[in-house]
Chains A and B, each alone.
Chain A
């Protein structure tokens, strides 16, 4: 999988003010790639620990690991 594409996604996320992003929004970093293909790239980023899931139960969003901390979340700080 293209390392360059993965880097573009991470860079895009770092530039945003919001901390949580929809899958569709992440794909803005990869405008030339079909969504099904983009999913594989984003999955790799999840597996490598460079992105993590946030889920409300009905919708799933993505965030940088530095933004999401289970310990903080459990203390009600996130």
Chain B
């Protein structure tokens, strides 16, 4: 198929050393006229420095309040094939495990029912199918659910598609079964995933260890991050082997070489809490001061391993910087065993959601609400006990705000009586 629209500016994007999305779309444009018009519309946007997409609408599939995002072009007269170009989010399998057969089926389905363009993956891990028309939505949904046993993901004011790292499937450091946790949350909260009820989006992400490979601490309203509460396991002979250059540090990453390395400079001095000591023969870790940063374990994976009494730290409130800057999650449950059926965790989630639904303002993320009402109110509503581990630098902060209800006798100040005693 010859090009329907000249695209001199987009063509420039194919000239660099990197793979180009323009090349991908042109390839698909050989088969789909929709992609021809997409290229024409993008070229016009580049030329005029103006966007021509309108997002939002009432389109969706029956019974669902999310998973489909209406997209429309504001120049359907010039680009009729992208007059509507809706996005569909497909819930990815836990940790994004699928085989090529599934991917081929999905691509065939999308070429038949949509533009053929995909985005692997969205920020919640969804498989994002880009561009279809309203009449194709119900047939697509039927085939997706009945023939491929896949479901739509979350969008709008829903619980969004939960996401996990590879967890125990591929990683020896994983302290929790992230895949099972995320699958369980997905099944348990189907209603919240498909039918919006929150003031805004709500994201769960789970990482198996504090390396946090899905960046749960930065990107999720509720982060479930694997940790341990006993001691780091140390193989002293392996530590000496690293120091002597028998093992390659960092497991060979970052061009690390098999040579003697300076354990003091590479490990001991980089420990954020200075909880390690090396006397030339053995490594000592004061585990009570360890903050589970994982640095030493990453440098010497054959010598150090996470402990055996494993569970998760639960943190809440991360968000991107749309309002008042980006926020990382804060610890609210320092340690939870996180074993099926996750009853204690779900009890916490439901109390948290009750509070957010009642107190949250429209388009206010959970973290913003906690900032507004205070962590104390949040903890009280979720029936959690304050803990120094919830405070960034507890030993440096002299200010403690007591709750009047928690102090015997309170501290109500009688100004009139004070003035009578201090009349001058």
Chain A interface residues (CB < 8 Å from chain B): 22-25, 34-36, 39, 42-43, 46-47, 52-60, 63, 68, 70, 73-76, 78
**28 interchain pairs (CB within 8 A)?**
A23-B157, A23-B196, A23-B198, A24-B199, A24-B362, A34-B358, A35-B197, A36-B354, A39-B197, A53-B65, A53-B196, A54-B58, A55-B60, A55-B68, A55-B69, A55-B196, A57-B70, A58-B201, A59-B200, A59-B201, A60-B157, A60-B196, A68-B58, A70-B57, A70-B59, A70-B134, A73-B58, A73-B59
Known contacts: A24-B362, A73-B58. The answer to whether A55 contacts B156 by CB under 8 A is yes
Instruction: Tell me if A23 and B197 are in contact (CB < 8 A).
Output: yes
* Residue of B56, B74, B361 with highest tally of chain A CB at under 10 A: B56
Instruction: Tell me if B57 and A73 are in contact (CB < 8 A).
Output: yes
Instruction: Tell me if A60 and B158 are in contact (CB < 8 A).
Output: yes
Instruction: Tell me if B58 and A56 are in contact (CB < 8 A).
Output: no
Instruction: Tell me if A57 and B196 are in contact (CB < 8 A).
Output: no
B133-165 vs A, Cβ < 8 Å mask (1 yes, 0 no) = 010000000000000000000011110000000
Q: Report how far A59 CA is from B353 CA in the complex, Å.
A: 17
Residues of B contacting A57 with CB < 8 Å?
Answer: 55-56, 69-70, 87, 155-156
The chain B residue with its CB closest to the CB of A69 is B58
Task: Compute the total of residue contacts between A and B using a CB distance below 8 Å.
Answer: 100
Extra inter-chain contacts (19) besides given A36-B353, A56-B69, A76-B74, CB under 8 Å: A22-B363, A24-B362, A34-B358, A36-B354, A52-B58, A54-B58, A55-B56, A55-B60, A55-B66, A55-B156, A57-B70, A57-B156, A58-B155, A58-B200, A70-B58, A70-B134, A73-B58, A73-B70, A76-B72
Instruction: Tell me if B134 and A74 are in contact (CB < 8 A).
Output: yes
Instruction: Tell me if B57 and A46 are in contact (CB < 8 A).
Output: no
